[in-house]
């Protein structure tokens, strides 16, 4: 990835590539990105690993205060990947302006669902068990992305 002047983050079997670009450099930058993906795919094949082309996502992040620059599809192996408005990365839903509104809405929805389910069971639970369920299914979701703050 260094050879293509890209930044990356790798976690277990998940790799994220990052690249900054100015509108005038779009063609060159996207060509470098696709070349890097080809090299990664080649390395993986040589090491008996597989990159699943159709599981790849592209998120084009821009300021919410500027006009959105249209980004063409990115070639990932045999697939053509269209940039998404939001993607899930390690459990975090990130949108193309980094407002985190989709992620916050998802956490609120899942926490509310858990609270309703626990509420239906509450009369069968002692205080300690109810607290453990709340911490396991509600608090853990609220704290899951605390490192992003």
Same domain, 30 and 50: yes
The pLDDT, as a whole number, for residue 71 is 76
- CA gyration radius, the chain: 20
Same domain, 56 and 126: no
Residue-number span of the structural domain to which 120 is assigned: 104-148
CA 8 to chain centre: 13
- Count Cβ atoms within 10 A of the Cβ of residue 26 and give its class: 0-12 exposed, 13-18 middle, 19 or more buried: middle
Same domain, 63 and 114: no
> How many angstroms separate the CA atoms of 84 and 98, rounded?
13
pTM: 0.68
Structure tokens at 132: 């453990």
The pLDDT, as a whole number, for residue 8 is 83
Same domain, 57 and 37: yes
For residue range 76-124, what is the model confidence (pLDDT) as tens digits? 877 888 888 888 887 788 888 888 889 889 988 998 999 999 999 999 9
Number of domains in the chain: 2
Same domain, 50 and 117: no
What proportion of the chain, given as a percentage, has pLDDT over 70?
91
């Amino acid at each position: 990835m260094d050879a293509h002047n890209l930044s990356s983050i790798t976690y277990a079997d998940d790799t994220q590539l990052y690249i900054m670009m100015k509108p005038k450099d779009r063609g060159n930058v996207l060509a470098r990105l696709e070349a890097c993906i080809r090299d990664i795919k080649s390395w993986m094949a040589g090491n008996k690993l597989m990159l699943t082309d159709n599981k790849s996502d592209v998120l084009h992040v821009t300021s919410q205060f500027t006009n959105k620059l249209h980004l063409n599809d990115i070639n990932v192996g045999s697939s053509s990947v269209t940039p998404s408005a939001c993607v899930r990365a390690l459990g975090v839903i990130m949108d193309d302006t980094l407002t985190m509104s989709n992620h916050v809405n998802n956490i609120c929805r899942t926490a509310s669902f858990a609270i309703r389910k626990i509420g239906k069971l509450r009369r069968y639970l002692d205080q300690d068990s109810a607290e453990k369920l709340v911490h396991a299914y509600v608090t853990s979701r609220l704290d899951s992305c605390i490192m992003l703050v």
